[in-house]
Amino acid sequence: MLLGNADQTLMFVCFSYVQSACKIFKAAEECRLDRDEEKAYVLYMKYLTVYDLIKKRPDFKQQQDFFLSMLGPTSFKKAIEEAEKLSESLKLRSLYAARICNTVEKGNINSDYTNKRVS
């Protein structure tokens, strides 16, 4: 099937979005493996945002199987699962840090502990 110029342009734009989404997902995976939770979380969320934009495009609907095969069969599900795990982990870290700060502010930590230098 031959496509007109307008259809080719739309396909190219969607193709560019798909390529960007794949790069974002790969970067998120690398950050997760490097244990950079904050960056991984932000990248997974960016991936999900771009994925949502792609799915709303009219050219995606015309070539859905093609674009989904490029995005990968499991990457959307994995991005959601990892973002949820990271969100919980980041919330717990934030609560823990807040408790430490609150304890230090109230002076409930041994002065020897607070006066030690970090090397």
Instruction: Inform me whether the pLDDT recorded for 42 exceeds 90.
Output: yes
Whether 1 maps to a domain, the answer reads: no
Whether 115 maps to a domain, the answer reads: no
Q: Which two tokens stand for residue 11?
A: 């396909």
Instruction: Inform me whether the pLDDT recorded for 104 exceeds 90.
Output: no
Q: What is the CATH number of the domain that holds 63?
A: 1.20.58.80
Whether 112 maps to a domain, the answer reads: no
Residue-averaged pLDDT of the chain: 84
Whether 15 maps to a domain, the answer reads: yes
- Domain housing 100: 9-104
Concatenated DSSP letters of 19-60? HHHHHHHHHHHHHHHTT-HHHHHHHHHHHHHHHHHHHHSHHH
Match 């989404």 to its residue by tokens. Answer: 21
Whether 111 maps to a domain, the answer reads: no
Higher pLDDT, 62 or 83: 83
Whether 2 maps to a domain, the answer reads: no
Whether 3 maps to a domain, the answer reads: no
Whether 61 maps to a domain, the answer reads: yes
How many separate domains does the chain show?
1
- Mean pLDDT, rounded, for 62-83: 91
Q: Which residues contact 114 (CB under 8 A, 6 or more apart)?
A: 104
